[in-house]
Structure 1
Amino acid sequence: MDFPAFCILEVIKLKEMHRWVAIILVLVGASSYGILSSIIKLAYESGLNELQITTGQLFFGMMILWIIIGFRRRAWQNPIKTPLLRLTLLGFMGIALTSIFINASLRDLNASLSIVLLFQFIWISIIIESVLHKKLPTIYQMLAVLIVMFGTILAVGLSIEDLQQMSIRGFIYGFLSAITYSLFITFTGRVATNIDSVLKSAIMITAALPPSIIVMIILFPSQTYIQGELSTFLFWGLFAAILGVVIPTISFNLGIPKIGGSLSAMLGAIELPAAIIAAVIVLQETVLLAQWLGVFLILIGIIVAEKK
């Protein structure tokens, strides 16, 4: 093999490796969100409320990201010289509002129905991508969506009784969480892709925190930060920050620009299997055979989505 051909082959291998690394990063970020649901449930059981948990998640996540930046001086860039408004909107709409809306939905609906509503982000993201690229989804994408949505219904054990007891307010919050998560998945790969991923994540969370607190105070007017012990707030706030802010935002900011929003949306379906496995291990919940079948179908859907 001559030298130029060998070099081209090595470049192709490197690109393939980068693609799979990006896929793994998106899977890690989505799985982290899935595990977070069990941690949030434990935080509620410890006596914390939605206002405390969501604020702690965002605030401690912001602090951890800036600490990481402090040890990575070469990644530093003046935030004022970045597309600050777009990063603020991305952080506020994608991370903060998604957390706020899903927590509000969980207040009025059971977890199963809230998860099904959140998972509408899969087809919403693909529609947004299709509009942006001005082309229809592929047959594999449409097939993957059907498989994943059917698998989701099985995996959460959704029943007719759940639908009959549905709260309109909870439904609206749940569907809004799907829309905001779709926007985050879609535009993370389009905004400020030349900025270091950790710095980008830190700017997004920092700029989005003040308006997020205002929204939470409006949504949860009867709640207060003065509830429970400080050590409890610090423990669960840090835990939620790592799983709900640090790992997902860095992983998505690294991975999504390389593989696009449509595939990232399908890979995001791994969040539910991760949530179920975490519930079994952390909360020691019982999972039925039909739910494991749903998990299997979701994994099949993710594989189908990767087809060209």
Structure 2
Amino acid sequence: MRMGALAVLLAASMYGTLAPAVKRAYEAGLSFAEVTFGQLFWAAVLLTVVRVGRRLLFDRRPSFSRRPFVARRGVREEGKKATPFRPEEEPADEGGRGRAIAGLAALGVAGLAGVSLAYYGALRTLPAQVALVLLFQFVWMGIVLERLLFGVRITAGRALAVGLIFAGDALALRVWAIDWSAVDLRGMALGLLAAGSYTTFLLGTARIRAPYDVVDRSLVMVVTGALVVSAFFRLTEPSASLLAPPSAFGLVLWLALFGQVLPPLLFNWGAPRIGGAATTLLSSVELPVGMITAAVVLGEPLGGVELAGVALIVAGVALVAYGDTAGGGKPAERALG
């Protein structure tokens, strides 16, 4: 549990470092298509290299193997514990494998591709402050969906954490200073779509029981996302360049590594261990990390009100992390009822 929470916190923190890199990429003249597709393309390349290299060096048995089903999560038939490079369970039939791959592909479409297209699209017509407010609706969306779909009770501790996180968001983003009457409706719709897509990604990584290790799971998601993004731009902007010039390769590689390689690996490993609700709440750490990174890297101002908001968000995240790792047992079992 503690390692699962740490993995989710690291993944969300990495997402928080992307905003300065995206801003620098646009300042360098990269287009929406080059930023969005480029990171997914190079992420697919990096994950493929990792998969092939691991198989050549360490694993003579293909990852998509036909070994017997192991019922209990985290324990294999021969008594070995699951690791990031060992599947947690394997279905005995091809139908189970097909359903697992379809689920992962759906996360690649709705999660990785959906968030990128919707959120970056919202930023084209909305101020970044408004887009962030809309994106962070994933906090309550995840909690409510866990309750409606899986019967996970909203505990008092998690309700308090949601309150702290929303209060922190309001302070950190100064929502009272936003002129909502001037906000573009299409941009608002895209921002809320990004929140829904991110919620789907977080809950899906926690719930889909794929019979493959995190590298294979992440690779399926990233490749599917790249194909969808490529098709989207070929249909909407046929003449658009999809790959950035060599001079901007470093920026795109940063976005690929910290946006589409490491976070999916960490989410795929950590989210199933702590549950969807805890994953959603812990992912709120993305905003404080993003604000601090922007202040350090870009020199953006960070005043007392914003720092107070950051402190409240961190307090909410800490409450979830402590409550979900101190109680023992499976997260779903502790929340049901």
**Normalised by the size of structure 1, how large is the TM-score?**
0.88
| 2:260 match | 245
- 1:276-307 per-residue CA deviation (whole Å, 9 max, x = no partner) reads 11101111111111000000000111122343
The structural deviation recorded for 1:98 is 0.4
Please, which runs of 5 or more residues in structure 2 have no aligned partner? 66-93, 325-337
| 1:64 match | 46
| 1:142 match | 159
| Inter-CA distance 161–263: structure 2 relative to 1 (3 Å threshold) | closer
Please, which runs of 5 or more residues in structure 1 have no aligned partner? 1-18
The structural deviation recorded for 1:136 is 3.4
| Inter-CA distance 217–146: structure 2 relative to 1 (3 Å threshold) | farther
Q: Which moved more, 1:185-194 or 1:244-253?
A: 185-194
Q: Distance in 1 between matches of 2:134 and 2:226?
A: 25
| 2:335 match | none
Alignment size in residue pairs: 288
**Conserved 8 A contact 1:94-1:180:** yes
Choose from 205, 215, 226 the match for 1:188. 205
Does residue 1:103 correspond to 2:120, yes or no? yes
Runs of 4+ in 1 over 4 A off after TM superposition: 79-82
| 2:284 match | 269
Q: Distance in 1 between matches of 2:294 and 2:248?
A: 21
| 1:28 match | 10
C-alpha RMSD over aligned residues? 2.0
| 2:150 match | 133
Residue type of the alignment partner of 1:170: G
**Conserved 8 A contact 1:76-1:199:** no
**Conserved 8 A contact 1:93-1:180:** yes
Q: Percent identity?
A: 31
Decide which structure has greater helix share: 1
Counting only pairs closer than 5 Å after superposition, residues 158-177 of structure 1 correspond to structure 2 as: 158-177=175-194
| 2:63 match | 77
The structural deviation recorded for 1:222 is 8.1
The structural deviation recorded for 1:217 is 4.3
| Inter-CA distance 151–217: structure 2 relative to 1 (3 Å threshold) | farther
Choose from 5, 24, 46 the match for 2:28. 46
Residue type of the alignment partner of 1:64: L
| Inter-CA distance 62–226: structure 2 relative to 1 (3 Å threshold) | closer
**Conserved 8 A contact 1:102-1:177:** yes
| 2:241 match | 225
Counting only pairs closer than 5 Å after superposition, residues 195-210 of structure 1 correspond to structure 2 as: 195-210=212-227
Q: Distance in 2 between matches of 1:289 and 1:203?
A: 43
Q: Distance in 2 between matches of 1:187 and 1:29?
A: 15
| 1:257 match | 272
Choose from 285, 304, 316 the match for 1:301. 316
Matched residue SS, 1:48? coil
| 2:86 match | none
Residue type of the alignment partner of 1:186: L
**Conserved 8 A contact 1:34-1:274:** yes
Choose from 143, 152, 169 the match for 1:152. 169
